[in-house]
Structure 1
Amino acid sequence: MKQALRLPFVAGLVTLALTVAGCSSANGGADPSDVAPTGKVEPREIQWLLSRPADGAVIKTMTKIADEYAKDHPGFKLKLITTPDRPSYIQKYETLAAADKLPELFDTDATPFAQKLAEQGRMMDAAKLLKSLGVHDTYRKAALDYQRFDDGSLYMIPFEYQLEFFWYNKELFKKAGIEVPKSLDDFPAMCTALRKVGVTPIALDGQDQWPLERYAAYQPFRTEGPSYVQKLKKNEAKFSDPAGQKAAKWLSELGRTGCFAKGFSSVGYADAQNQFTSGKTAVYNIGTWELRSLATAELNAAVRNDIDFFTLPSSKGSATAANEFVAPSGIGMAVNARTYDPLVRDFLKFALTKYPAAYAATGELSPTTNAKTAVPENATPLYSRAVAAADEVGTELAMPWDTQLDPTTNTRLQRELVLLVQGDVTPSEFTSTMDAALGQNAPKYFK
């Protein structure tokens, strides 16, 4: 699962276009709060602009449901406009938004860009819609909260639910004479011990950049909770603040103790996973979207019985609890207010009522609590343990920073993180550079 990355130049142009367009773009459409329009359901083709794997469970499930709906509504068709590559998708989405040509349904994270659309009356109020359809209370609180804007409003509907764990090789830990780290501060010592016995400590997809950015978010989340990044992105907090300094020093220490493989920045997603599943690395931080690869017979038999997982360590004095960590519900689906009508509502009611059970039947965690995940027959005990953990998640969420920061600052952060971990810049140089970037970009983006 790659998190949202946005092209800075395009995003800037589109934001300007949205500012010029103002609220007029919603003229002729529905009131975002009028979730139960009257009138006849007249079947037609509706479109969903989305960025999800074409062979993934979300698309397969929704396609099957749409085909079922079409049988009783001749003339209906759900056309999927897919762009799996996230940067290209964001460019297309924001360009269509500027031209007021978004389709009936479209994917978006809870970004400042999406919030501008909501403020302009261009997205249906998802909270009111879900309540009107009678399904709101079936959703996991964490799944809905992940989709909310900072003001608590909800304009996106989740279609998945994931938990992010640290998967580890028990045999390699035993070889190094170490136990699961009790706090994030134990990671450097863990890495040193593993290096001493010839083991690369942590597998990391450095090529896609968001995995390293996760590590940057961990210390501040434990130190101050989600409020730090909420303030940081608006330049109301600094990278040089205590929480940011602690993160920078910790990341520098991870690099100094050799936590990641040499040349980690060029390692891709599949290669990072292969390093772990082949027993070459001891730890791999990834979400439950990889359950089939890590907790079934698909996993390499040579390491299958050695794999376990632990959650983001939380030590005494942490601002957040042990059961609070990264638990994303993926990119959400927004409903275009301009094209919302009785057909769109009727289809969404049909689809969202059937979706949870159908999705959970594929072995995935449903964003709702009323669907039981079907654990595959070839699953290891870890599969059921991971599924059970979904019901124990706390109330505070560690939000991925790449969906929070303005795109220009985020791009600079990803580049500077590599330099920091490689030892090419010091923690103080890192925080100074990032504070300058934040001060220059955030005020313009969040105005």
Structure 2
Amino acid sequence: MKKALGSAWAAGLVALTLTLTGCGSTGGANPTDVEPTGRIEPREISWLLSRPVDGAVIKTMNKLADEYAEKHPGFKLNLITTPDRPSYIQKYETLAAANKLPELFDTDATPFARKLATQGRMMDAAKLLKSLGVHDTYRKAALDYQRFDDGSLYMIPFEYQLEFFWYNKALFKKAGIDVPKSLDDFPAMCTALRKAGVTPIALDGQDQWPLERYAAYQPFRTDGPSYVQQLKRNKAKFSDPAGQKAVNWLSSLGRAGCFANGFSSTGYADAQNQFTSGKAAVYNIGTWELGSLATTELNPVVRDDIDFFTLPTTAGSATAANEFVAPSGIGMAVNARTYDPLVRDFLKFALTKYPAAYAATGELSPTTNAKTAVPANATPLYARAVAAADTVGEELAMPWDTQLDPTTNTRLQRELVLLVQGDVSPSEFTSTMDAALGQNAPKYFK
């Protein structure tokens, strides 16, 4: 079912892209005219979003919208939620093609979003944030994650996450190993853990993006962020040295039995349970799971044994140890067609108050002016993870699923499973993926 949906989305996206290519500006505000004149007339505005309905972002924004409505009778923030990401993207791009996007809408910094921006359909977020007096409070990494390749900013971040390798110290000790100093140490780590009767790495294979993270790691260390920026445009290939390092490493992870048996059908909750129950030694996940991994909610059987390490470097690494995956999540864009004094005034109210309100829930704010409230039931790891946010370096490891064209990305996710399972060889994988890039990237990034 998920594969069928992905294929339908990819096919539909081609048509939508062609539709957008012929569209020009659709009226409304100039994207750089961030200070419109006129009266603030309260009305209902909508936000098309893809976030957990019970998550801190939605809860915080709902609270702030209610506060704003108390002083502006008639105002209401209507949240149009579609947590399932593929379904959300299909809805978002369909509405965009029909010129029916609401005042606010979620989007990653994809080529599709870039087309909207170049058509004047999204407000310039950098100018807007500066006009509201909040731009300089944002973490550089949080804003950089939202930027297009040319450095322009059209999305506003509402979260900030760090992705770590959580590991079980007791299981490492049982296997007689230390934390890997290099990515190249992973196969040996897995072999030792397997010999000790331990599943090395818990992986949510069902959702596909977690395995795709592993594909991004070696190129980020060998070439930095430039590799995927060139790869997605077919200006770099999997047959290039950086690509081959990644392909061969992934194949070696499979041969070493790094991932749990049956990983391709393992879901998010099951992968987490493998780690929190002490059955798996390593779990690569972000700080959005701090409540499960760094509080007394964690299984007491493993609680005192859990620690984390960041993405290891490699020999001659082009990026530093403090540079890894640090996403600020899907961003929020402001529709230029419907931008007016009310939208601006609400955003000024909400974005000024949001950081403190969001950080009070125990989350990492995308800004530097709000201190995360470490919960009373936190383990020492919680504060350590929060503190790491202040030491993140300049370069970001971008998730590939937000970078590649949809058709190539879908093929990559399928081929990665086959490569790690040993069903295709590194050379077969390379040939397949270079052909997919050659066929799809030029059409998508023209």
Which of the five TM-score ranges fits, normalised by the shorter chain? Answer: over 0.9
Match of 1:446 in 2: 445
Shift of 1:20: 2.1
Mapping of residues 189-208 of structure 1, within 5 Å: 189-208=188-207
Which amino acid is 2:67 matched to? E
CA offsets 1:174-224 (integer angstroms, 9 cap, x no match): 000000000000000000000001000000000000000000000000000
2:217 and 2:83 map into 1 onto residues whose CA distance is 27
CA contact (8 A) 2:184 2:314 kept: no
Residue 418 (structure 1) aligned with residue 420 (structure 2): no
Correspondence for 2:20: 18
Percent identical residues: 87
**Contact in 1 for aligned 2:49/2:105 (Cα 8 Å):** yes
In structure 1, the residue matched to 2:426 is 427
Alignment of 1:296-307 (within 5 A): 296-307=295-306
How far apart in 2 are the matches of 1:278 and 1:262? 16
Q: Which residue of 2 aligns with 1:164?
A: 163
Look up the SS of the partner of 1:302 in the other structure: coil
CA distance in structure 2 between the aligned counterparts of 1:176 and 1:124, rounded to whole angstroms: 54
Does the 8 A contact of 2:121 with 2:337 survive in 1? yes
> Shift in Å at residue 261 of structure 1?
1.2
Map of 2:174 onto structure 1 = 175
Matched with 1:55 is: 54
SS, match of residue 399 in structure 1: coil
Aligned residues of 2:255 and 2:420 also touching (Cα < 8 A): yes
How do 1:168-317 residues align onto structure 2 when only pairs under 5 Å count? Answer: 168-317=167-316
> 1:21-420 to 2 correspondence within 5 Å?
21-23=23-25, 25=26, 27=27, 29-420=28-419
Counterpart CA distance in 2 for 1:431 and 1:353 is: 48
| Cα drift, residue 75 of structure 1 | 0.3
Higher mean Cα deviation, 282-291 or 310-319?
A: 310-319
How far apart, in 2, do the equivalents of 1:315 and 1:392 lie?
20
The aligned counterpart of 2:3 is none
In 1, Cα distance between equivalents of 2:318 and 2:393: 13
Give 5+ residue unaligned stretches, structure 1: none
Q: State the distance in 2 between where 1:439 and 1:430 align.
A: 14
Q: Over residues 119-145 of structure 1, what are the superposed CA-to-partner deviations in whole Å (9 max), with x where a residue is unaligned?
A: 000000000000000000000000000
Alignment: residue pair count: 440
Q: Work out the CA distance in 2 between the residues paired with 1:10 and 1:22.
A: 20
List per-residue Cα deviations over 1:263-321 (Å, max 9, x = no partner).
11000000000000000000000000000000000000000000000000013410000
Q: Secondary structure at the match of 1:129?
A: helix
- For residues 275 and 430 of structure 2, what CA distance do their matches in structure 1 show? 31
Q: CA deviation at 1:10?
A: 1.6
Query: Whole-Å Cα distance in 2 between the matches of residues 396 and 210 of structure 1?
Result: 21
Residue type at the aligned position of 1:283: V
Structure 1 window deviating more from structure 2 (420-429 vs 120-129): it is 420-429
The whole-number CA distance in structure 2 between the counterparts of 1:333 and 1:90 is: 13
Structure 2: which amino acid aligns with 1:165?
F
Deviation per CA, 1:89-133, whole angstroms, max 9, x where unpaired? 000000000000000000000000000000000000000000000
Quick one: distance in 2 between partners of 1:406 and 1:152?
19
1:122-169 deviation line (CA, Å, top 9, x unaligned):
000000000000000000000000000000000000000000000000
Q: Could you give the per-residue CA deviations for residues 366-389 of structure 1, whole angstroms, max 9, x where no partner exists?
A: 000000000000000000000000
TM-score, with length taken from structure 2: 0.98
The secondary structure found in structure 2 opposite 1:21 is coil
Q: Distance in 1 between matches of 2:133 and 2:23?
A: 34
**Aligned with 2:17: secondary structure?**
helix
Residue 341 (structure 1) shift: 0.2
Aligned-partner residue type, residue 45 of structure 1: E
The letter of the residue matching 2:23 is A
Instruction: Give 3-state SS (helix, strand or coil) of 1:282's partner.
Output: strand
Per-residue Cα deviation, 1:65-105 (whole angstroms, up to 9, x for no partner) = 00000000000000000001110000000000000000000
Question: 1:30 & 1:14 partners in 2: Cα distance?
Answer: 24
Q: Which runs of 5+ in 2 are unaligned?
A: 1-5
- Displacement of 1:17: 1.1
Distance in 1 between the 2:403 and 2:131 partners?
29
TM-score with structure 1 length normalisation? 0.98
Letter in 1 for 2:164: F
